[in-house]
Structure 1
């Protein structure tokens, strides 16, 4: 086993997750409050039959990353969580180790799962037990959080509520209102009775426990519980006499169950990544004017743009966003794009999320740039192909500076629409092309 380094109303809101990588996380929410060790167990040994795919859903990929990597990052970014135990099927062990290495996850321990969910959770809990055979156990936590590997979007403030309630009460769990009425049917397939929806709640994840309580409960489980049980809170009540504190959670606690849920997760992450951009105007009067207009227009697309004349040598500025728009009227600006790509690669800035660079060429003549300099098109393509291998998406847009106000305003509006769409969609198929605004 590898060593452990301990050094909203939408379906998800990974905003704080994205910020934390740039070093500007809001997320020291629990610092000073959580003064005890906390660990996480992520059961991820399921086959994902309901997805209808050959790949288990936790290993399905979007935005060039497997789903489980997003879930791990959700917990790994929180400084007061020390250890994350991921429980996988034996045949997925090497794949999981590769994911950990590729995406630089540093708090993770991989444990082999069991034939059922409860057996896998118990295996994860045993990683902290001194009675475990094999390698030395991990440091025992005061509180352990159990969470689904396919629920990638849970916010730190809610995890803090779950953690503190578990420490105080012994167990805690997330709940949500029922969306549909629950009914009982007869053996012949007719309605027997229905439950009053307002009296019931759906049990969700995460769930938190004092480690000693939940480990004791699993040690006392029956074979029936291991085979057919689904609810950890019930085990804590039945076998440890601990009644969990239930906390209503946000809508972000949904889990990826079906193929369409993967698309939903991707869409919301893209939406969050497109909230801001760095707009590089240069110093030429015409490019500064265009940058100002573009900044105003993109605000209508719910995008905040930080305007700067240049970013060369300012690595801190490059680390604060994953969207860059560079406006230039000079051919030489392609060398600046090349330098930016190089710096972003060295920073590993696109490791977890794709970075977008949009090179806007302001053509001051009526003759389009691509007709004047056909060789430049191949240069854009070469740069973009190399960048795409490092998860950096480079697009080109040409806009002609018209002296007719109506045509100029129309071109700027078109430029704004194309720019917003490229940043929002992050489609690698359009990289390397010089689009016309």
Structure 2
């Protein structure tokens, strides 16, 4: 991943959102593509979710769901234009989302009353010159749902490549349940052999002239009640779509419980790297380095990477550019908040927290035999004021006191407890605990 300028513009998205191969394997076929665009119908009202806000605008980690889908598409460099169709009442809200999260190559058009009409409006925006939109007619167009945020570049490439060869292509997945047909009286009439059928998913891709011609010939019944774009290409252009096996992550956020599932996936993906920032490099036996070793041992599924605040934070700039969203600032040499303040300043300048909340755990050690716990906590209570301020920038700051003991067994237990707390704070990203001073 090529780093962007430190402190300038929106950061690149984290790598885990693209689990397929990168580099030469994708670059070679992608470079052979002509102009590729994408259309996202996003005019639904979210009736099945049972919430007043349309599901595409429902927040996940305080960020609208549709923003994650746009992120997944715009990080694919060979997609030239992305057209989003939203209802007239949501156009300004959509433009605000694009501006706030610094999305690029996005154009907004008004959605129709149905899914097919929304897609048709997006296609017309690409086909016809419009004074307020600088779009060019593509050779291949991708159609994708605004509420499928986990689409990967390798799947997009497969359907686009197949569409160039066959005229149309779509991702499919094996059926989970058997499909049955009821009779008029509500009894079983017939069932389908599950192994012979597939569930149609998104993304789908088409030669633009094929799908645009199909929509131009659609009947009003198709536009009102149809949902399958591949069927339109077959019905009106006699183009048989190539079916491409999709990944399990292509599921659609449909019900309220799906929002929680999506949030869990996102949290898991941005919690895989922890940067340990320490104000000392000396004495590897120091308690700060012991904490680092315990973190590596207990969280063996997480990459633990060291950072330094020396030289105006230059040691951290590359880590930030590589998309680490979790920082443990270990205050070893000083008992105050100076090192954590330096880290917070660097994070605020970096714009890292535009897309995802950044977790900072400020760790302090104390020997309860020398300093009363109440006194130590009192000295660090002003962490709350810092936490309130940086929360406005989507940085979640927590405090952690770890009891230091000369007894090795007790010390190891305190470090393990601290590790458990750190892991929970990073995984859960609980804004309700921001500014709290926890004790291990």
Matched, 1:177 2:174: yes
Structure 1 residues 298 and 199: alpha-carbon distance in aligned structure 2, compared to 1, 3 A threshold:
same
Aligned partners of 1:78, 1:434: CA distance in 2, in Å?
41
Q: Which residue of 2 aligns with 1:59?
A: 57
* Matched positions, count: 417
- What is the match of residue 305 of structure 2? 306
Q: TM (normalized to structure 1)?
A: 0.91
Provide closer, same or farther for how the CA distance between residues 28 and 70 of structure 1 changes in structure 2, counting only shifts above 3 A.
farther
**Residues 1:402 and 2:405 are matched in the alignment:** yes
CA deviation after TM superposition for structure 1 residue 337, in Å: 1.3
In structure 1, distance between residues paired with 2:53 and 2:371: 47
TM-aligned CA deviation for residue 222 of structure 1: 0.6
Corresponding residue to 1:347 among 327, 331, 350: 350
**Equivalence for 1:3:** none
Return the match for 2:253 from 247, 256, 261: 256
- CA–CA distance in 2 between the matches of 1:154 and 1:28? 20
Q: Measured at CA, do residues 347 and 325 of structure 1 come closer, stay the same or move farther in structure 2, by a change above 3 Å?
A: same
CA contact (8 A) 1:381 1:432 kept: yes
Native 8 Å contact 2:309 2:339 kept in 1: no
With structure 2 as the length reference, what TM-score do the two structures score? 0.90
Match in the other structure for 1:12: none
Question: Is it true that 1:338 corresponds to 2:336 in the alignment?
Answer: no
- The equivalent residue for 1:68 is 66
User: Relative to structure 1, is the Cα distance of residues 136 and 398 closer, same or farther in structure 2, using a 3 angstrom cutoff?
Assistant: closer
Question: 1:331/1:379 Cα in 2 relative to 1: closer, same or farther (>3 Å)?
Answer: farther
The answer on 1:31 being equivalent to 2:30 is no
Counterpart position of 1:18: 14
Whether the 8 Å contact between 1:151 and 1:253 is mirrored in structure 2 is: yes
The root-mean-square deviation of aligned C-alpha atoms, in Å, is 2.0
Conserved 8 A contact 2:309-2:342: no
Q: Which runs of structure 2 are paired with 1:61-140 in the superposition (5 Å)?
A: 61-130=59-128, 135=132, 138-140=135-137
SS at match of 1:350: helix
Alignment partners' CA distance in 2, 1:133 and 1:374? 62
Residues 370 and 377, structure 1, Cα contact 8 Å, conserved in 2? no
Confirm whether residue 356 of structure 1 aligns to residue 354 of structure 2. Answer: no
Does structure 2 conserve the Cα–Cα contact (< 8 Å) formed by 1:31 and 1:79?
no
2:126 counterpart SS class: coil
CA contact (8 A) 1:87 1:113 kept: yes
Q: Which of 214, 218, 223 is matched with 2:220 structurally?
A: 223
User: Could you say what secondary structure the match of 1:127 adopts?
Assistant: helix
Report what 1:287 is aligned to: 287
Unaligned ranges ≥5, structure 1: 1-15
**Measured at CA, do residues 92 and 57 of structure 1 come closer, stay the same or move farther in structure 2, by a change above 3 Å?**
same
After TM superposition, give the deviation of residue 288 of structure 1 in Å: 4.2
Q: SS of the counterpart of 2:337?
A: helix
The match for 1:265 is 262
Aligned mates of 1:159, 1:56 — CA distance in 2: 26
What's the counterpart of residue 40 of structure 1?
38
